[in-house]
Amino acid sequence: MNRVLFGLAVFALAAREVNMLKCHMCSSFSNEDCKDHTKDTNIPLVECDNKALTKWHGEMVQTPVLQNIVHVFEIDQPVNHNQNIEIINPACAKMNLKVGLQKYTLRTCQTAKTASLDPCEVIRTKLQKSGVGSGVVVDYCDLCTSEGCNGAYGLSPPKMIQLVFGFIGLMLLQAYQHCIA
């Protein structure tokens, strides 16, 4: 019984995420691959930290269509934007916006949905209150909490490799323990 528990522990350690959450962070305003789900694997994963969010927001401010509404995508951030602080309870977000007749996709980090907070609804509400909400509509907004889940595939290749090697390790451990028993 102890061998089985030890094997499961080894498998769990091999499969777990050791780093902070990584998400795709892009905008189809500046990168067409962000919109196309068949090409979004070209977009690298970025750790969801304060520096990445500050950079993403800086790029959104440079987008003329988003300049007046970029504040609606903000999440609580520390006052010192130069610190690389981990976001508490992060999630990956994917949003499809309709601006006039044009459709755009945004992928970023966001606070995860909780029983009392739905960031997608907060964004929709902020857009309506901003006065430009009638010209910008959130067609789709979803949050997920596994690495790279705001891309085309929910299970990213690095996580798949971890699972495969964890399973192989478990099988080798079981075979070894069976031989010495």
State residue 146's pLDDT score: 92
163 has a pLDDT exceeding 60? no
10 has a pLDDT exceeding 60? no
154 has a pLDDT exceeding 60? no
Does residue 171 belong to any structural domain of this protein?
no
Calculate the CA dihedral of residues 57, 62, 66, 70 and round it to 10 degrees.
Answer: 30
Tokens encoding 141: 């907004």
Three-state SS letters, 47-106: ECEHHHHHHHHHHHHCCCCCCCCHHHHCCCCCCCCCCCCECCCEEEEEEEEEECCEEEEE
Q: Give the containing element (helix H, strand E) for 120.
A: helix 119-130
Q: What's the whole-model pTM score?
A: 0.67
Percent pLDDT > 70 in the chain is: 69
Does residue 163 belong to any structural domain of this protein?
no
For residue range 29-56, what is the model confidence (pLDDT) as tens digits? 888 888 877 776 778 899 988 888 888 8
For residue range 92-146, what is the model confidence (pLDDT) as tens digits? 999 999 988 889 999 999 988 989 889 999 888 888 887 665 678 889 999 999 9
Does residue 13 belong to any structural domain of this protein?
no
Tokens encoding 136: 């910008």
Does residue 170 belong to any structural domain of this protein?
no
Q: Is 24 left (phi over 0), alpha (psi -120 to 50) or beta?
A: beta
State residue 173's pLDDT score: 74
Does residue 130 belong to any structural domain of this protein?
yes
- Mean model confidence pLDDT for the chain: 76
State residue 141's pLDDT score: 94
How many domains does the chain divide into? 1
In terms of Cβ atoms closer than 10 Å to its own Cβ (0-12, 13-18, 19+), residue 98 is: middle
In terms of Cβ atoms closer than 10 Å to its own Cβ (0-12, 13-18, 19+), residue 19 is: exposed
Does residue 128 belong to any structural domain of this protein?
yes
Domain that holds residue 79: 19-149
Does residue 105 belong to any structural domain of this protein?
yes
Quick check: 144 and 109 in contact, CB under 8 A? no
Listed residue (114, 115, 117, 105) closest to 141, CA to CA? 105
**Exposure of 56 in the CB half-sphere (CA atoms within 13 A):** 25
85 has a pLDDT exceeding 70? no
Does residue 10 belong to any structural domain of this protein?
no
Calculate the CA dihedral of residues 132, 144, 111, 115 and round it to 10 degrees.
Answer: 100
pLDDT bucket at 72, cuts 50 / 70 / 90: confident
**Residue 162, C-beta contacts closer than 8 angstroms, at least 6 positions apart:** 14, 15
